[in-house]
């Protein structure tokens, strides 16, 4: 892996959000001004093809990325602000397994992305516990 790709991989590994390519470019070029946006696109594609990085579509017309090893979690996307909240929920896993079983399948993988609007006067953090990985447990 080239030095520039290492910088991009480092930026991705340090991200606690879901950056798009333009944001990755901004962060990586701050560390190494020789990095081009084309290099970021090629690196993201390579990491995605190798299963190291996962592409997410949270709306807004741009793909966003996160490391594949982030474990079983879900995303709630605020449609007004674009904020992405990661959360875990064992009941959801159980429900999805039950649905698959009722339809004659063994669940081997799943993904859930919820889109919503914050209730007036509520904050996204009210009443939620946070895991050691920074994900909400609901």
Give 14-49 pLDDT, tens digit per residue.
887 888 889 999 999 999 999 999 999 999 999 888
Nearest to 43 by CA among 61, 59, 28, 58: 28
Tell me how far apart the alpha carbons of residues 26 and 19 are, in angstroms, rounded to a whole number: 10
pLDDT at 125: 53
pLDDT band for position 104 (cuts 50, 70, 90): very high
Q: What is the pLDDT of residues 55-98, one digit of tens each?
A: 877 767 778 777 776 567 787 888 888 788 878 888 888 899 99
Q: What's the CATH code, domain 3-67? A: 1.10.10.10
Q: What's the pLDDT at 26?
A: 93
The answer on pLDDT for 132 being more than 60 is no
**Residue 107 confidence class, pLDDT cut points 50, 70, 90:** confident
Range(s) of the chain covered by CATH 1.10.10.10: 3-67
Note the pLDDT of residue 126. Answer: 47
| Distance, CA of 84 to CA of 66 (rounded, Å) | 12
User: Is 131 a residue whose pLDDT tops 50?
Assistant: no
CA distances 10 to 5, 18, 108, Å, are 8, 14, 30
Note the CATH architecture for domain 74-137.
2-Layer Sandwich (3.30)
Q: Where in the chain is the domain with CATH 3.30.1490.190?
A: 74-137
């Amino acid at each position: 892996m080239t030095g520039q790709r290492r910088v991009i991989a480092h930026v991705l590994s340090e991200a606690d959000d879901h950056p798009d390519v333009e944001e990755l470019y901004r962060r990586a070029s701050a560390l190494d001004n020789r990095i081009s946006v084309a290099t970021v696109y090629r690196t993201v594609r390579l990491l995605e093809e190798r299963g190291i990085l996962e592409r997410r579509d949270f709306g807004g017309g741009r793909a966003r990325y996160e490391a594949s090893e982030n474990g079983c979690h879900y995303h709630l996307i605020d449609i007004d602000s674009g904020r992405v909240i990661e959360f875990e929920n064992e009941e959801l896993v159980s429900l999805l397994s039950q649905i698959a079983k009722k339809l004659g399948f063994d669940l081997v993988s799943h993904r859930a992305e919820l889109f919503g609007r914050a209730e007036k006067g509520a904050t996204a953090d009210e009443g939620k516990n946070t895991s050691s990985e920074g994900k909400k447990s609901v």
